Amino acid sequence: MIIKLQDMLWVQSHTTIDGRGKNITITGRNVVLGGVQDVIIHNIQISNIKGSDTLHIFAGSKKVWVDHVTSFNGELGLASVLQGSTDVTISNCNLQNYNFNMLLGASDADFEDRSLRVTVYRNWFRDSMQRMPHCRWGICHVANNLYTNWGYYAIGGRANARVRSESNVFMPSKRVKEITPWFPSKPATFDMSARIESRNDVLLNGATFHQFLSASSDVSPPYPSGSSPPIMSTSSLPSLVEKCSGALFAGNLIQCQQA
């Protein structure tokens, strides 16, 4: 089924959009969560969106889970979490875009994003220029993701963001090896206030990870007891993510549910 939206799809609180077992594509306009809570979006494709991102979460939305979504070709990016939204998990997604990918906090002036807490878990970030994710102000836990072929940088942050990159696998192309937006001749005005730390990441094909460590304390994602995501071995991560990320159908759905 291809659903071509004529207007934005506004999702209300306490809603689940579940495309398991079906091949569902949303195109034309984006999916929007504004000031809502308790929402699950699962096993759909959102693609080919002009003039916006593909999935827009803003205005203090909270308790949102985006899982097994395939998304690409968003003119202004793919998933965005902005303006005081928090307690969002984006997991098991297949995310590919020619420029921007995922934005967590849109402006240095959005001080309400100090409450932002986002988990980015077991996604495949493919063939994108930047923002996988880019984080402002809040706490972003980026764990067990697969990165292939980024153009400018993979993980970025500014405005006192706190980012933990943990047990990810980075496989750059021949052109760009650096994972963060670090470069030797950066200007004096370059914002180094974010903390971007790497723990047990696997850097392949000559990848480099310049950590931003000006903030003194380590990043500690504030999960309630027993609710942190299970960190899997990086040795089997690439094959699992390549096979099981994004919307799943038929045999892949059954096999990946057992993984």
Q: Mind telling me the catalytic residues?
A: 131
Produce one character per residue of 21-38: b if its CB has 16 or more CB atoms within 10 Å, e if not.
Answer: eeebbbbbbbbbbbebee
Length of the chain: 259
Compute, in degrees rounded to 10, the torsion defined by CA atoms 180, 80, 115, 83.
130
Residue type at position 148: T
Q: Which of 53, 107, 117 is nearest to 85 (CA)?
A: 117
DSSP annotation string for 197-222: EEES-EE-TT-B---B--SSSPP---
User: What residues does 17 pair with on adjacent strands?
Assistant: 41
Rg of the chain's alpha carbons, rounded to an integer?
17
Please state the φ and ψ torsions of residue 222, each to the nearest 5 degrees. Answer: -85, 60
| Tokens at 192, concatenated | 């180094």
Q: What are the angstrom distances between the C-alpha of 54 and each of 26, 154, 198?
A: 9, 19, 28
